[in-house]
Amino acid sequence: MSKKSVKKPDYAKFEANRAVKKKNKKKKTAAIVSSVIAACVFAVIAIVAVNVLSRSDTAELTSSAWAPEGAKNASGDEVKMSEVYNTNYSSYQGSMSFSDDNTFSLWLSPGDPEDGTHSGKYTLSDSNKINLSFDDGTDTTATLKKKNGKISAIILNYNDYKVTFVKQ
């Protein structure tokens, strides 16, 4: 019987390969951790930016009263405010105001504010929209029109009209 020679493993090569694999694994782990950290930083920056912009819009909304400037019907044609008010009253006024506590007040009728002021709660969305929930349970939206980053008008969906409000 002959003995086969058994080749002994080269432990030095084995250890060297193991060290290289361990080093590569550390590099991959570091790359993954760096990517996760970068994604978290980006998310935080985006959240802060949205909050700062929302606060800026809220500050602009609450800083003054807004008065109706004009209106368009469902076809997009300019209409007189008498059509929106559904009356022949000759002196048209109105206003819209916003408070820091997320409440609003809308007066959109002829005569005196005591004759038809509506109120409710509002929320700003990140897409230049204001969601309005009136105390009587009805909801509508308004769009913020901006010029040079500042709110130049509020376009309110009111019945079948779009009423444009500007700063007083």
Please give the model's pTM, rounded to 2 decimal places: 0.62
Rg (CA), the chain: 32
> What is the distance between the alpha carbons of residues 114 and 133, in angstroms, rounded to a whole number?
20
Q: How far does CA 70 lie from the centroid of its chain?
A: 26
Residue 80 or 103, more confident: 103
With 70 as the cut, is the pLDDT of residue 102 above it?
yes
Worst-scoring range by mean pLDDT, 49-53, 56-60, 162-166? 49-53
Closest CA to 11 of 21, 3, 2, 19: 19
> What is the distance between the alpha carbons of residues 98 and 167, in angstroms, rounded to a whole number?
12
Worst-scoring range by mean pLDDT, 60-64, 74-78, 83-87, 147-151? 83-87
Contact in structure between 149 and 50 (CB atoms under 8 Å)? no
Closest CA to 81 of 159, 168, 3, 23: 159
Kindly report the backbone phi and psi dihedral angles of residue 165, in degrees, each rounded to the nearest multiple of 5, phi listed first. -110, 140
Length of the chain (residues): 168
| Terminal CA-CA length for the chain | 110
pLDDT per residue as tens digits for the range 67-97:
888 889 999 999 887 787 776 655 667 889 9
Q: How confident is the model at residue 50 (pLDDT cuts 50, 70, 90)?
A: very low
With 90 as the cut, is the pLDDT of residue 153 above it?
yes
